[in-house]
Amino acid sequence: MNGSRAPAKSVTLLAMLAVAVGLGTGLWLGPGEAFNVMTTAVLFGLVTAHTLMNISLMRLFRDEKKPAHAVQHFVLPFLATGLFWWVLYESVWPINLPLSWSVVIWAAVLIPVIVYVLVVIRGMGSAEGRQLGIRKTQPPVI
């Protein structure tokens, strides 16, 4: 990806997977239940993504150590994360079939992503890791 075009092969693959999963769950559960299960699985994914973004904001506050940014980089992300998960909990509890399949779908997507990220991080050089903020900058040698 050079920044001038969308990654066409990746977009095509994602579109084909979305159609296959949508048709498959629609045939399996029926259109109404498939819609409920898939939208709830996406809701789990969105809450997870927002949680990760809020954690990155908290790390930014930790790294910058500016007291003036404590509210916007720590307090608000912490509250937002709690609210996201509370709303998700209230939306699906008590969870029962077939809605419980949304948790399985979410985990089936999340686990390979976590494994992939860990593999990429393990093979990453220290300069790349520092640029991404996952490795600490070494103090200069005097």
Is 44 domain-assigned? yes
Q: Two tokens at 109? A: 């997507």
Establish if 107 belongs to a structural domain.
yes
- By the 8 A CB rule, do 47 and 88 touch? yes
Amino acid at 12: T
In a domain, 108, yes or no: yes
Residue 4 lies in a domain: no
Residue 53, token pair as written in the block: 């973004």
DSSP symbol at 5: S
Query: Which tokens belong to 55?
Result: 């954690």
Segment among 21-25, 62-66, 105-109 with least mean pLDDT? 62-66
Query: Per-residue pLDDT for 63 more than 70?
Result: no
The reported pTM is 0.71
Q: Tokens in use for 61?
A: 């506050």
Instruction: Look at residue 138 and tell me if it is in a domain.
Output: no
Q: Are 66 and 140 in contact (CB under 8 A)?
A: no
Instruction: Give me the domain span that covers residue 65.
Output: 40-132
User: Is residue 2 predicted with pLDDT exceeding 60?
Assistant: no
Q: Does 100 reside within a domain?
A: yes
Which pair of tokens denotes residue 94? Answer: 């008590």
- The number of distinct structural domains making up the chain is 1
pLDDT at 3: 62
> Strand, helix or coil at 91?
helix
Please report whether residue 139 resides in a domain: no
The owner of tokens 């066409």 is: 8
